[in-house]
A and B are shown apart, each in its own frame.
Chain A
Amino acid sequence: MTAPTRLRVTLLRLGIWSCLAPSSVLAQEAGSILGRVVGSETGEPLANVRIELVGPPGATLSGEDGRFILVGVPAGDRTVRISLIGYRSLTVDGVFVRAGRSVRLDPELAPEALELPGVTAEVDRIRLIEPEISATHEVVLGRELRELPADNVAEVVELAPGVSDGHFRGGRVGQEVYVIDGLEFKNQLEASSSGSGLELPPTSLQELEVLTGGIGAQYGNALSGVVRYVTRRGDAERWMAAGSFRTDHWAPDDLYRGFSSLSVTAGGPLSFLGPSSTLFADLLVQGLQDADPRARGLTCLRQGDGDAALDGLIRDVAEDATTARLYCPYQDPSFPHQQGEKILGFLRWDQAIGPGLGLTASLLANRFQRQLYTSELKYNAENQLGQRTKALLAMLALDWTKQAVGSGVHVTARLSATRLDRHLGALDPWTFDGRGRIGGVGLSDFRFLGEDFVRSPIEEQLLSGSPVPGYRDPGGSTGSPYGPAGEGIFFTEGTTDLANWSRSEFLAADVVGEVLSAAGHRLRGGASAKWWRVESYERVLSHLAGSSPNYTRFFPTTLNGFAEVTLAAADELNVYLGARVEAFQSGLSFRPDRHDFLSPVVDTEWKTAILPRIGVTGPIPGTEGRTAFRFNYGVVSQPPDFQFFLDTSIGDSLRTDIRRQGNPNLTFERGTAFEVAVSHLFTDAVAATLVGFRKELTNLVSGNLGFPGVAPNQFTTGDFGTVRGVELSVRGGWRRVRARLGYALQKATGVVSSALSDEPEVDGEVREEFPLSFDRRHSGNLALFLGRAAGDPDPPWSVTTVATLESGYPIVRGEEEVTSGVTSEPTHLPWTFQVDVRGGWQFGRLPGCDACGWRVLAEVKNLFGQENVVALRKDTRTVAPPAETVEALARDLAIPEPIPRESPRYSAQIDLDGDGRITPAEFEKARLAAALDRFDPSLFYDDPVQVRLGIEVFF
């Protein structure tokens, strides 16, 4: 075997099997390169070899033992030059550095006397197994993100085994934290009900990592998962740009959903600011004529949706010639009153400002606004419920790197400011009548009725005692297909009565430092602080004068610090030890007993938590390194959502307006988690990992557990739960095919499913665990990348497929379980199955632009048109209510005498014989039709078939 061949094989082998040195998962967006340089002829270590990055600054020397470590290397594809006087220099291309990871590179240098061609490293971007990583994680690279048939990053996160509908390993929504270029970000006010509130364009990411187990000490605010984003930086050599547009506006009606998406990215050097200054910009604009399309579209109850009695009612309406037109009068493949738009912008500037010193400034801005379809208002042509979420994140990071022989120090300090602003309320009709839009996208904000008023000083509002301007009593009858028979069922006049907004801002400062050695040891520590300003406004019955809002402004603080060490022990065994200290203070004063107005008002105290974390990982002896194990244990915690400090009347999914009393004295939600995993490399192309885990959560916030001495419906931390399960992931990588298969089997139990759960109040003395409403037992997914999507540059075509197969959630927990404690298996929703495909064909140079390439894209979501059911009624366990429920609604209004045509209540729609009078009998028939329509099951279904065409141009 010749030397070059040997080197290439060595690199290839290292790339597949051991090119990463022991490490845990880090917060920083930079990684490191470590290894050992030897002479190709002697195999002896070479000292004083210069290892240098090409492009970004960074260089080090090897030690006497030939070992080196280069720290602070920006994530991404890097080129490394290795040189030593008397030896032929070696340039290694395609060294893929991942944020927070150490890439191992063991070059062999040949004496100058030997002829040696240049070498290109042929390493996998993601290794099939990682015996030194103690975390369970899923990594999606930027290239893959851009190929996946996903409209947003959240859809990609769902591909990680154990993640389903925003639940990470059976945890509640909001038990995860997002890390953007090292900055820990969470919608601390209302993550459990409104999500993260911040979104990045998929094209802006260098990589995305989802951690569900073995979460390191540097992460807090998360009981169940971490999503880590590493953003792209501009290319240091040349400007590159790409633009794509996808739409279904060309599609026939039954496939048209009103989707259009424009994405533009550009990045490159800012030469006038120096050789290492780069800029990257990304803009994503999506127009959504139907912001939440469903498989059946706007539909209604059909025969077979419910029981025989309901079928009879449907027949009575649909097969009677006089009432047939009242059966399901409003159908469409798309929803009405559900328009929306999303605009995401990202800007990043990187600048070297001195030896080993770099500055990164980034700005992320979001605006997502949409109408929220509600069946009560579907015949209201004027006023609809809408929501607007705006987010702004500005971050400044200072990165300092100190290289030494055999070691390196890397310190990052960040300062960031964030604002999340959400408004929920009745939309001003101007929003759609007077606002300029192109392709469904308008540049200006949605307008809400009375927005200025509800954001004016609360004292002025209370003094005025007036309703929210523009709000009117929801009601009306004309304009629906049922006229007066729709009264109380559909609101064709007036507005919704909700006016709700919140704003949370924080200023964050953090510093993280790490010391790495060429032997693979690592020591890291850091601290951060966040100073919050939170405002929350909530008003129900906004149309009524004198109805008072819930409004609170307060200033919480969160602090944390962590330290962790990774020790590379003998036999490639790695030990991870970490500890984290968390603290928060709500900043609220409160009266513990509201009924006693003389009781003292007390200030909330600091809450603290200490979180140890341990991990052990390494290859199993005797397997030649093809089988590895890991074990980890950790204590996790997170402050409760700040919203639970406050009173609330809304938020429960049934809009029951159950008032819950806030509790500013809530403490940390806590948990312990451990897992054991085994990974095995079956062939050089196929590997699998099996993980078993158990997570016990305590102190979970609940709004409906009763305890002695606690006000009814007051938020407490009296809930608890357990999640246990196994996850299997299989990966395969070939030249033109890359595949990931994931399967998770888990069981999530607890007392109640969420703090705002609609589940019945239970006695705190007999708290039993039951399968939670989001207890999805089985979930599997497949991601398949073919052709160019798999990284093969040769074929002009690319195909990416994502398939998911999941069992359904429990529908009911069983009343008998509450009282008797007898556990019975609940009824579940049906399994769901969906396949999404994206294909592309690259045509080479774009006509008229020699420097441009272009390709055509075609995308199909829910390829097989599966009508997946994602919700069922608890009472019938179908999408339909019981016949008696429909009849009861129909009966709750009757007319004692006919309604003549000259009556304002008259509607020809239900004057079935056209004689100018709506008789009580006609009214009764129409009322039944209206009641059937009211229970339209449109929202019980998941994604419809969506077909888009697109074009992408790049240079």
Chain B
Amino acid sequence: MLGRLTALALVSVALVACQDATLPFEATDRPDESQSLPRQLTFSEADDRSPAWDPGTDAVLFSTEGFPPFVAAPGLLLAVPSGGGAATELLPDLQFPGGPRDWFASPTPSPGGGRMAWAELWGVRDSNLCPGTGVTCATELPTEGVAPRLAEVRLRVASADTGSANRVLRVSMEGLAELPSSGGLTSYAVSLHPFQALFHLEGSAVFRPSWSPSGDRLAFSDGLRLLIWSVDGGDPAPIPSTEDGVHAAWSPDGEWIAFTRLVRGEPVAFECLHSVLLGPVCRQERVEYPIQGRVVTVVRPDGSDATEVGPGDDPAWLPDSQTLVFRRQGTLWTAKRDGSSSAQVTGTEGGREPAPSPDGTAVVFARIDPRFMTHDLWVVALGGDAR
């Protein structure tokens, strides 16, 4: 009897066992690195620039050159999760596979979300004014013979979701004028302003727009000065005391605008000839303005109280509106608005174009990758003092 009961018990236990089917395969396509700092957000060999932290989605917006599977545009706006992950295209109505290959740059979300401003580089010139020719100039400046590439920048404002309801401001960038032909040669008058050289040498987003806290105005640079544009109507107005200002950054409290003042050196005038085998075909009468320095400066929106923070460029505000983070000597620094309490942000060597997180605990920035001489985006923590 005991044997029967034992057999019954054993069989009963076996029969009530229940297992599942073979589980589907789970592939970890992306490691979770959201908690590690510093962390690299982008890895492409393209030049990833102008990061901006989107307060609405905690994503980092940036511009890059298009790579598969995105549209192969010279300037593409993407968003990547701040913790790392797959990028998605911004403005899907404007950027889609097979769509136009525009050159978009400097995505800037409005403080309240909903809208986004960005710059469209229009009619970017070839660095050689007369393509297919060799250039011979009388000097050996680093920008010898190159054209002022920025011809026009269009500031655009649109719905952040789709890119629809577009508003556009056309901003002409100075530097090039055609002269009457001389001796059968096409002739140009070239004024290579500091901002043109900066764009050519570093790809700097000198025109980067910055929203006012109210979300109805944009501060930007036309290369020669800062301006404020009421996006819902009106012409842009220059901000006094911002000559050769680029990289506008409006403080979160709306009281200040930081920018990079390009210190203009003494002009150097000379002539360049563009030649082919049979001889010269065009000529330039150039005036170049060397960049003698870059100074982070703050000014009130009305142009008053201009104050130099110190050497550096690419300023951005921390949420307290008192502290700036900027580039100096090839790394990132923080300093108070008056220039005091400057400190280096560790782990940011080779960094530029910082963008603090909405809570001020971290900053995303572009860092040069010496292998490809292009930039990737990184995130580092900001120390307590900086905050």
Contact = CB atoms under 8 A, between A and B. Distances in A.
B68 A290 contact: no
Candidate in A250, A844, A905, A907 with the most chain B CB atoms within 10 angstroms: A250
Contact of A250 (B14, B24, B45, B86): B14
B22 A334 contact: yes
Interface in A418-468: 439-440
Contact of A289 (B21, B30, B44, B87): B21
Given A245-B15, A905-B69, A917 B43 contact: yes
Contact of A329 (B25, B67, B69): B25
The A contact surface, by secondary structure, is: loop
B349 to A, nearest CB: 18
Contacts of B67: 897, 900, 903
Contacts of A334: 21-22
B18 A908 contact: no
A643 B29 CA distance: 45
A382 B4 CA distance: 46
A902 B25 contact: no
A909 interface: yes
Q: Kindly name the residue among A381, A847, A898, A903 whose own CB sees the greatest number of chain B CB atoms within 10 A.
A: A903
Contact of A906 (B4, B29, B41): B29
B25 A908 contact: no
B146 interface: no
A908 B31 contact: yes
B17 A247 contact: yes
Contacts of A380: 24
Interface string B31-42: 100000000111
B21 A290 contact: yes
B84 interface: yes
A577 interface: no
Interface in B5-32: 5, 7-8, 11-15, 17-31
Interface stretch (A182-190, A474-482, A742-750): A474-482
A483 B25 CA distance: 13
A111 interface: no
B113 to A, nearest CB: 22
A258 B19 contact: yes
B25 A336 contact: yes
B296 interface: no
Interface hub of B20, B28, B30 (most chain A Cβ within 10 A): B30
A325 to B, nearest CB: 11
A900 B15 contact: no
Contacts of B14: 247, 249-250, 949
B355 interface: no
B216 to A, nearest CB: 32
Contacts of A127: none
A439 B18 contact: yes
Interface residues of B, number: 40
A126 interface: no
Contacts of B18: 249, 439
Contacts of B17: 247, 249-250
Contacts of A908: 28-31
Interface in B356-379: none
A847 B22 contact: no
Nearest to A905: B69
A256 B14 CA distance: 12
A843 B4 contact: yes
A857 B351 CA distance: 73
A917 B80 CA distance: 16
B261 to A, nearest CB: 34
A338 B20 CA distance: 12
A951 interface: yes
Contacts of A478: 27, 29
Interface string A304-332: 00000000000000000000000001101
A904 interface: yes
A378 interface: yes
B78 interface: yes
A478 B67 CA distance: 18
Interface string A832-870: 000000000101101100000010100000000000000
A843 B25 contact: no
B24 A902 contact: no
Contacts of B80: 902
Nearest to A848: B8
A381 B8 CA distance: 40
B34 to A, nearest CB: 13
A550 B91 CA distance: 42
A856 B7 contact: yes
A902 B22 contact: no
A894 B14 CA distance: 52
B86 A916 contact: no
A900 to B, nearest CB: 4
Contacts of B23: 336
Nearest to A340: B21
Contacts of A651: none
Contacts of A916: 40, 43
Interface string A89-121: 000000000000000000000000000000000
A901 interface: yes
Interface string B96-116: 000000000000000000000
A298 B24 CA distance: 12
Given A478-B29, A906-B86, A900 B44 contact: yes
B258 to A, nearest CB: 29
Contacts of B85: 902
B172 to A, nearest CB: 34
Contacts of A905: 68-69
A339 interface: yes
A335 B22 contact: yes
A481 B26 CA distance: 8
Contact of B15 (A898, A899, A949): A949
A948 to B, nearest CB: 9
A491 B27 CA distance: 14
A249 to B, nearest CB: 4
A915 B26 CA distance: 22
A470 interface: no
Contacts of B68: 895, 897, 899, 903, 905
Interface string B67-89: 11100000000101000111110
Interface in A900-955: 900-909, 915-917, 949-951
A899 B8 CA distance: 61
Interface string A546-578: 000000000000000000000000000000000
Contacts of B30: 901, 906-908
B150 to A, nearest CB: 27
Contacts of B20: 289
Contacts of B29: 478-479, 483, 906-909
A950 B87 contact: no
Contact of A902 (B19, B27, B78): B78
Contact of B87 (A290, A332, A902): A902
A208 B171 CA distance: 91
13 contacts: A249-B15, A289-B22, A290-B21, A338-B21, A439-B18, A846-B8, A847-B5, A898-B44, A907-B27, A907-B29, A908-B30, A909-B27, A951-B15
Q: Which 5 A-B pairs have the closest CB atoms?
A: A916-B43, A900-B44, A900-B43, A250-B14, A289-B21
Interface of B: 4-5, 7-8, 11-15, 17-31, 40-45, 67-69, 78, 80, 84-88
Given A249-B19, A902-B42, 13 more contacts: A245-B15, A247-B14, A249-B18, A289-B19, A289-B20, A897-B68, A900-B43, A902-B44, A904-B87, A907-B30, A909-B27, A916-B43, A949-B11
